Amino acid sequence: MLCPGSVFGMFFVLNVLLWIEDSSGAVPFSTLVALLALWFGISVPLTFVGAYFGFRKRALDFPVRTNQIPRQIPEQTIYTQPLPGIIMGGVLPFGCIFIQLFFILNSIWASQTYYMFGFLFLVFLILIQWTRLWCHEDTMKVETRLHSSLDVE
């Protein structure tokens, strides 16, 4: 309830500023009332119903016992740490998008026509395929490396 309430509060304050300026971009008052009705009529009751059923449910009993002696975690190699994996995973998609946006914005600022939309679409398809493959395969690779290095907290 805190997040939707704060978002609605900021939205309402900005909308009041738009009303003061007589802007056509201001949201009508009836729409704000409808949003409040949806929030208080659906979101708030469901929050309390979920909390009620959550507190009534008994605690989970885990079917296995854990070892009381903590396992020694070996020293981490550079490729099993999170930061290098994040950098390696984001450099190629970022570079692909950055180069295309550089050429598009350069042609717009220089008052020239960008005529390579077919190439841009091809690069977009390659980017989508690469991201799909990267997210699928390398997530499994990183998880396998982390499990093999015994850092599975």
Alpha carbon dihedral 127, 133, 136, 138, in 10-degree steps, equals -100
Q: In this predicted structure, what is the pLDDT of residue 150? A: 58
Q: Which two tokens stand for residue 66?
A: 């854990």
State the DSSP H helix or E strand holding residue 145, giving kind and residue range, or none if neither. helix 139-148
> 85 vs 24, which has greater pLDDT?
24
Contact 1, 47 (CB under 8 A): yes
Average pLDDT in the chain: 80
In a domain, 37, yes or no: yes
Q: In this predicted structure, what is the pLDDT of residue 10? A: 92
Mark whether 82 and 51 lie in a shared domain.
Answer: no
Average pLDDT of the residues in 47-59 = 93
Residue 46 has pLDDT above 90, yes or no: yes
Mark whether 85 and 138 lie in a shared domain.
Answer: yes
Residue 47 has pLDDT above 80, yes or no: yes
Mark whether 82 and 31 lie in a shared domain.
Answer: no
Mark whether 82 and 128 lie in a shared domain.
Answer: yes
15 — pLDDT class (breaks 50, 70, 90): very high
Q: Which two tokens stand for residue 45?
A: 């009751």
Contact 80, 149 (CB under 8 A): yes
Mark whether 44 and 85 lie in a shared domain.
Answer: no
Q: Which two tokens stand for residue 115?
A: 């005529």
Mark whether 83 and 144 lie in a shared domain.
Answer: yes
Mark whether 82 and 52 lie in a shared domain.
Answer: no
Q: In this predicted structure, what is the pLDDT of residue 83? A: 80
Contact 89, 138 (CB under 8 A): yes
pTM for the model stands at 0.40
Total tally of structural domains belonging to the chain: 2
Mark whether 46 and 89 lie in a shared domain.
Answer: no
User: Which stretches of 28-112 are DSSP H helices?
Assistant: 29-38, 44-56, 82-109
In a domain, 61, yes or no: no
Cα 111 to chain centroid distance, Å, stands at 35
In a domain, 40, yes or no: yes
pLDDT in tens, 67-119: 888 877 777 777 667 787 777 777 777 887 788 778 778 877 887 776 777 77
Going from the C-alpha of 6 to that of each of 9, 11, 12, 28, 29, the distances in angstroms are 5, 8, 10, 19, 18
In a domain, 49, yes or no: yes
Least confident of 46-55, 96-105, 130-139: 130-139
In a domain, 120, yes or no: yes
Q: In this predicted structure, what is the pLDDT of residue 152? A: 55
In a domain, 35, yes or no: yes
In a domain, 24, yes or no: yes
63 — pLDDT class (breaks 50, 70, 90): confident
Mark whether 84 and 118 lie in a shared domain.
Answer: yes
Contact 93, 101 (CB under 8 A): no
State the residue range of the domain holding 127: 78-148
